[in-house]
Structure 1
Amino acid sequence: MIFLIGLAAAGLLGLGFVAQQHAAYREPLGRMLHPSLLLDLIHKPLWLAGLAAMVGGQILGALALSGANVAKVEPLLATNLLFALVIGRIVCKENLHWNEWLGGLMASGGIALFLVLGEPTGEHPTGPESERWLAAAGIVFLALVLVSIGRRSPLQTRAMLLAAAAGMLFGLQDAVTRGLLLRLGHGLWAIVTSWQPYALVIVAICGLLLAQSAFDAAPLRVSLPAATAAEPITGILLGVLVFTERLRLGPGPLAGQIIGLAMMVSGIVILGRSPYLAKRENNVSECPEARLP
């Protein structure tokens, strides 16, 4: 059941990303990383529909996290790019080429290999006062470094760096969500008086702004793969560091996990380069004009 819920969440996220990027891509580049970008996008029905799909995906993702640890759920959420590819294919009304099939097989096979060989199990509820949450501060710092470098980089590199920073914050958001779910048994007052629900809102808004800025800068084939790869890696890392989730560490399983993650990231990159995720000059209504060659 967790597997199906995770895939359903990924499907809604993929749909949301496609709709949001089509709307954000028409925004002036000068609004990147500025709150006015979000204020303008909330007046666009297509973007709001994408946001609704994304929220639905986040809710299903939270439901999956309530029944499984972060290291199991995150790889499933990473398949949102597969769904974005299919949606892009339907919109552009063209057949998939061999590289799209290769990317899909590599991404799916890598996720399956990681889950089978890693067998992420076990966790310890971590209260908001635990020092293990300092790992979250490290993730925020790394995201800020990527944003800082991206601001001084060429447009295409900027899009990838901003998307990677957004993915890191989305992974952090998943970990904080899991932390809140584990504390439900302590009562509402214990949750309200902790830093986690407020940090969750701030992280979600910042991640959304970074993602929309990346979508404003470049087509999905450039911007989405970095976010899709960074989110599960961050979530798995926080699952191990914060919730002490355990992966099989024998030489064989560890090598298989590394290969699986490498396959997943490589497949995501290949899929992200699909022309069906980019906007086209010859069909603005279905695959709008791209700024990049």
Structure 2
Amino acid sequence: MNALLLPVLLCLVSAVAYAGAAIVQERVAATTADGSCGPLRRPGWWGAVALTGLGAGLHVVALAYGPLSLVQPLGALTIVFALPMAAAFARRSVGPAGWRGALLATAGLAGLLTLTRPPHAETLDAAQRPLLAAAVLAAAAVLALGARWARRAVVRGVALAAAAGAAFGMGSVFTKAAAQDWTSHRTGSLVFTLLAIAVLASAGMLLSQASYRGAGLAAPLATVTIVNPVVAAVAGMTVLGETFRYGVPGGLLAALAGGLATAGVVTLSRLTPDRAERETTIAVRGRTRVPGPRRCLTHAGAAEPE
């Protein structure tokens, strides 16, 4: 059996679980009007929590058996699975712009992470972990506070999703470190790392739930999908000494991939649910020959346009 087959399969199932959780979260946010604590009283929200826990558990196992450079790019499959799942199960049309944005975001993210070299160090230094956790939580708090001033629901959702992605991304870095601590029997730093993972995961879950309120599914999910591994990659480059492959050409290709991912997020951030419905209707009509204006007879015999 190929050594990479198991982590790849685990990542696939994890992405499906994360996608299902995102769809349920968006539906709960769209149908709950009881404020920030309303979702806690909805069974569906706790189902999303269970799916997120399943996805996170499979992600942890994948990190234990596979390299970070493989596991993190496969996380981009979440949005690839979420869009058709939302169309099939939630009866929520995505529209051509949604598909274009998702493909751009996924392609850019996959290219960016493919160009990132594997880490030189297997784990984080114990002294660096409190600083990294505090920095990410502070950045997430700034984004969450800034989201309160956003006038458009989509902009607010993207800001909250970026905060959630930062928390999830650093949580993945800490998870990899915790796996190495466990195998190396470094219990001193393991306790703090597990507590940091719990705080980061809880913050990411609450922020991602808030990001779906009024913003639809595509834009917040795309933002989380991009920010999550980008934060992990930045942590690897700044703390673990990782660099892009192929030197200067690799850096230019990485910049191009980042531009594609940004274009995808911008496309999705401008797509509201109502606009997605209109664009889907236009696309369907465009594939069908529409005859000229016809008239039908009413019961009184008068002609009336259809």
Range into which the TM-score falls when normalised by the shorter chain = 0.7 to 0.9
**CA distance 1:126–1:50, change in 2 (3 Å):** same
Q: Are 2:201 and 1:204 equivalent residues in the alignment?
A: yes
Q: Are 2:120 and 1:123 equivalent residues in the alignment?
A: yes
1:201-223 superposed Cα distances (whole Å, 9 cap, x missing partner): 11111221111122234322343
- Aligned-pair CA distance for 1:74: 2.3
Which one-letter code corresponds to 2:248 in the other structure?
A: P
- Aligned-pair CA distance for 1:184: 0.9
- Aligned-pair CA distance for 1:177: 0.8
Query: Do the aligned partners of 1:168 and 1:230 also contact (CA within 8 Å) in 2?
Result: yes
Give structure 1 stretches of 5+ with no counterpart.
32-36, 281-293
What is the match of residue 54 of structure 2? 56
**CA distance 1:94–1:176, change in 2 (3 Å):** closer
- Aligned-pair CA distance for 1:128: 5.2
Q: Select which of 22, 27, 52 maps to 1:22.
A: 27
Q: Are 2:163 and 1:161 equivalent residues in the alignment?
A: no
**Aligned counterparts of 2:74 and 2:86: Cα–Cα separation in 1:** 20
Which one-letter code corresponds to 2:97 in the other structure?
A: N
1:147-191 superposed Cα distances (whole Å, 9 cap, x missing partner): 121122225132221111111111111111111011112337435
Bigger mean CA offset, 183-192 vs 158-167: 183-192
**Aligned counterparts of 1:205 and 1:102: Cα–Cα separation in 2:** 31
Which one-letter code corresponds to 2:21 in the other structure?
A: G
TM-score for both structures, normalised by structure 1: 0.79
| Alignment length (residue pairs) | 272
Structural mapping, 1:39-50, within 5 Å:
40-50=38-48
What is the match of residue 267 of structure 1? 264
**Aligned counterparts of 2:46 and 2:81: Cα–Cα separation in 1:** 19
Query: Do the aligned partners of 2:161 and 2:211 also contact (CA within 8 Å) in 1?
Result: yes
**Aligned counterparts of 1:186 and 1:277: Cα–Cα separation in 2:** 52
Q: What's the Cα RMSD here?
A: 3.1
Bigger mean CA offset, 203-212 vs 238-247: 238-247
Which one-letter code corresponds to 1:12 in the other structure?
A: A
Q: Select which of 49, 66, 69 maps to 2:64.
A: 66
Q: Are 2:235 and 1:238 equivalent residues in the alignment?
A: yes
Sequence identity percentage: 24
What is the match of residue 213 of structure 1? 210
User: What SS does structure 1 have at the residue aligned with 2:53?
Assistant: helix
- Aligned-pair CA distance for 1:247: 2.7
Query: Do the aligned partners of 2:158 and 2:269 also contact (CA within 8 Å) in 1?
Result: no
Question: Highest CA radius of gyration, 1 or 2?
Answer: 2
* Structure showing greater relative contact order (alpha-carbon pairs closer than 8 Å, 6 or more residues apart): 1
**Aligned counterparts of 2:274 and 2:122: Cα–Cα separation in 1:** 39
1:76-112 superposed Cα distances (whole Å, 9 cap, x missing partner): 2123112111111113558765434433443343344
Which one-letter code corresponds to 1:9 in the other structure?
A: S
**CA distance 1:276–1:59, change in 2 (3 Å):** farther
Which one-letter code corresponds to 1:10 in the other structure?
A: A
What is the match of residue 172 of structure 2? 174
Bigger mean CA offset, 255-264 vs 168-177: 255-264
What is the match of residue 224 of structure 1? 221
Q: Select which of 13, 16, 19 maps to 1:8.
A: 13
User: What SS does structure 2 have at the residue aligned with 1:120?
Assistant: coil
Give structure 2 stretches of 5+ with no counterpart.
278-306
**Aligned counterparts of 1:49 and 1:255: Cα–Cα separation in 2:** 42
**Aligned counterparts of 2:208 and 2:274: Cα–Cα separation in 1:** 16
Which one-letter code corresponds to 1:77 in the other structure?
A: G
**Aligned counterparts of 2:123 and 2:230: Cα–Cα separation in 1:** 20
**CA distance 1:97–1:202, change in 2 (3 Å):** closer
